[in-house]
Amino acid sequence: MSTSAVDRRIRSLRPPKRRLDPYTAHGSLLEEERRADGRIERALTVFLAGAECPFTCSFCDLWQWTIDGPTPPGALARQLDSVLQALDEPLPDRLKLYNASNFFDPQAVPPADVPGIAALAAPFAAVTVESHANTIGARTLAFAEQIAGRLEVAVGLETIHPAAAAQLNKHLDLAQFDSAARFLSDNGIDLRVFVLLGLPHVPAEESVEWTVRTVQYAVERGASVISIIPVRGGNGEMERLQALGEFTPPVLSQLEDALDRSMRFSSTVVTADLWDSDRLTACERCTSDRIERMRRVNVTGRPESRITCTMCGSA
């Protein structure tokens, strides 16, 4: 999979990968999501176990949720069917299929399995999958035509900071992202975008500013939903860069700032990714209240006053 010296270095620093059963989804999640027209959707996210992404991004921690080698034929449909069978309540509006890779990579999602996945997705009004911008194309259109609901593709833009983007090892430039965004728009497919907060090679004091600039870039290219994701350590490469002084882990107040400043983009839903947010450096007394405030803002889209804390002086 990896051939370059950078790929090999990044992969060599990773801790051991956890062992996953390729026939069992490694998780699912029911949540409420706001859409740009103000509707609140119920969404079921299914975390599928499949082949690892062929790109070796420096910041990635999703590789640990993948298997070695190609996804076995029939495995993803079996995983999805098991989750749906176990769902003990009415089906939600949206199905999100996150396979920690690229849905349109045939190594990750065998083409012969797509009709079966589409059939299982038929009861849902909308389906979201994730993909590197460079794997969006004919397979995307084919899947959009096979599902009954509307397709949305989640794409990692990460950052428009020129120095940081050049160091991500993502094999993506802005022209490629723009091309993918136009392709989706021209074919009636929604675009969801991931934007990172706290990237290496971005000075900590500029981190929020560049995150908001990147959010604006995605808004201008038609993103329906944008998720701000704090960069997480633990893959070895982030620790190497931190030791060199090139990476400063983001803190909770930066995520709050980025979300609050992005509320002005009213045409697009902008949310803070709160997965593992309790690991971000913050005050022990007010952290849970601050996370809950962001959770409310994510759903309502309405600005709220910041939490005031006498211990840390935040407000």
Tokens of 226: 């944008």
Does 2 score more than 80 pLDDT?
A: no
Give per-residue pLDDT as tens, 99-132. 999 999 999 999 999 999 999 999 999 999 999 9
Contact 195, 226 (CB under 8 A): yes
DSSP alpha helix (H) spans, 21-161: 75-86, 114-120, 138-146
Question: Of all helices (H) and strands (E), which one includes residue 291?
Answer: helix 287-300
Does 252 score more than 70 pLDDT?
A: yes
The CB-side HSE value for 82 (13 A sphere, CA atoms) comes to 16
Question: CB 208: neighbour CB atoms within 10 A?
Answer: 24
Distance, CA of 100 to CA of 81 (rounded, Å): 18
8-state DSSP, 69 = S
In the structure, what pLDDT confidence band is assigned to residue 71 with cuts at 50, 70 and 90?
Answer: very high
In degrees and rounded to multiples of 5, residue 33 shows phi and psi of: -135, 140
Cα 298 off chain centre by: 15
pLDDT at position 278 is 83
Contact 69, 100 (CB under 8 A): no
Note the pTM of the prediction, 2 decimals. Answer: 0.95
Rounded mean pLDDT, 256-276 = 95
pLDDT at position 310 is 80
Give per-residue pLDDT as tens, 162-210. 999 999 999 999 999 999 999 999 999 999 999 999 999 999 999 999 9
Rounded mean pLDDT, 217-240 = 97
Spell out the domains of the chain, with CATH numbers in brackets: 5-300 (3.20.20.70)
